Amino acid sequence: MSITKEEFVERVISTGVAERMDVSRVIGELGVGEVSLAEVVDQLQSRGLVTTLQTEKIMRGDRVGYFYGDFKILYLIGAGTFARVYRAERNGEVYAVKVLRKRFRDEAHELEQFLREGRMGLKLKHPNIVRILEVVPDRHNPFLVMEFVEGQTLRELVKIRGKLPVELALKLMHEIASGLAFAASLGISHRDLKLSNVLISSNGVAKLVDFGLAALADRSNPEVVADCPNARAIDYAALERGTNVRKDDPRSDVFFAGNMLYHMLAGTPALTETRDRMARLNISRFQDIRSIYDYVPDLPGIVNQLLLAAMEFDPEKRIQTCTALASATKTVIDTLERGPAEARAPDLSGKVNAEDVGDDHVITNEGEGYVVMFVESKTGLQNAVRDRLKARGYRVLIIADPQRALTRFEDAIERPADCVIFGAAELGNDALEAFNAFGENEETKEIPAILLVDPNQKHLIQRAVRGSNRALLPLPLSVKHLRIALIKLLSDTEPRSDALF
């Protein structure tokens, strides 16, 4: 649709976008002579009287949508399935105005969900949550007024920078968890945690936005197992169905916050991203997560420890609340800031006792300064043990051949490892013979060793050489029991000075 410059000017004035006096003054700056529509538009935009969005609407002949209440719409800053968010101003102050899309305004459920978000948001007064300031339930033009955050989304930040530095990722994670913890204290969960729902302000502060799927938690019926109300909640529903917990379980936000931390560190999400509904409902997405060390080989163990605790598939073993997640993240930040010397000593004695290993969610660096060699041919078990021991600070060497492992100790100037773990599940007799030879050899008999053996392998158990620095552990392996065994076996071994590898 083509219009003249005169028609454009009249529409600017009639819609209330700008005052006639201001428009006339600015156009007058163009001087005398013939002036084109393009020149008029450029002049008004350059002087700040109209924006690109307003210009497009005027060109289309739109008569409404320039104001919501007293708020003048300036730019579109975000658009989702249910709503659009605009930068707006009133009395010289800048705000964000969130407007429900037209096609949902006649849908009672969507309208109520939108207004519920606003009503909940009025309660969420926290520095790490974008404030909702007003809720306008106009049936024809319902909108929310929010604080305007100058900055970018966390998704945009990760896209630009790729992998974030560990310190920055942990800082943002702590701020996100703090906001979630405050909301949880009011009975509100987020239900849509992803990088695009976190704004990073110009001064670097993380602020949660879009509690659109949040719900005032109804804990009156713990038997209710998660359902899948709409596509936006499908990931939450898949996790909750797969772990047989009720919808709105507070530990779900913990899991997806962990996924965001993984994404910040690795530059890619832990969960494979897909639009395919059936693929997203497949519970294996939450179980077959690639090791963070494939992306960040030098990640400090306690950071991986935090990730594993937040993204534990079993909800009973997962960090239980967002408050606990914020606390654990702060502990990791403080530990890293203290440096390797103090990080190696989580209590005043400088040692972690086996009796203290009870809670896997407690952040410790018990393995700092120790090297463990794991002799195992099963890739899955290799990865599981490596990741969980590295999470506690151990350096882990993986070798698939028992004889090759023994060879590493022959005529070595410095011992290759402080403890050797032999896995007999598949290596069987080869693992047993290497374990026994390791205990009989003069050069290695003082070095602790562990044999992992299935209780059904009775012929191996009977032939295993025992000793004060030897241990047998049953399969399937309990990492907690392995940690206890390592702490006891290494209690008389001095940690190496080059603790951080």
Cβ proximity of 111 and 94 under 8 Å: no
Q: How far apart are CA 415 and CA 409, in angstroms?
A: 6
Q: How far apart are CA 446 and CA 462, in angstroms?
A: 22
Q: In what order do the strands lie in the sheet with 371-375?
A: 395-399, 371-375, 419-423, 449-453, 470-474
CB neighbour list of residue 284: distance below 8 Å, 6 or more residues apart: none
Q: How far apart are CA 334 and CA 392, in angstroms?
A: 16
Q: How far apart are CA 164 and CA 160, in angstroms?
A: 10
Q: How far apart are CA 152 and CA 157, in angstroms?
A: 7
Q: How far apart are CA 497 and CA 371, in angstroms?
A: 12
Cβ proximity of 496 and 369 under 8 Å: yes
Tokens representing 464? Answer: 């295993």
Q: How many CB atoms lie within 10 A of CB 29?
A: 9
Q: State the amino acid at position 188 in one-letter form.
A: I
The number of residues in the chain equals 501
Q: Is 98 annotated as a binding residue?
A: yes
Q: How far apart are CA 67 and CA 56, in angstroms?
A: 15
Q: Which helix (H) or strand (E) holds 43?
A: helix 37-46
Phi and psi based region of residue 357 (left: phi greater than 0; alpha: psi -120 to 50; beta: remaining):
alpha
Cβ proximity of 217 and 250 under 8 Å: yes
Tokens representing 488? Answer: 């006891």
Annotated binding site for ATP: 98
Annotated binding site: 98
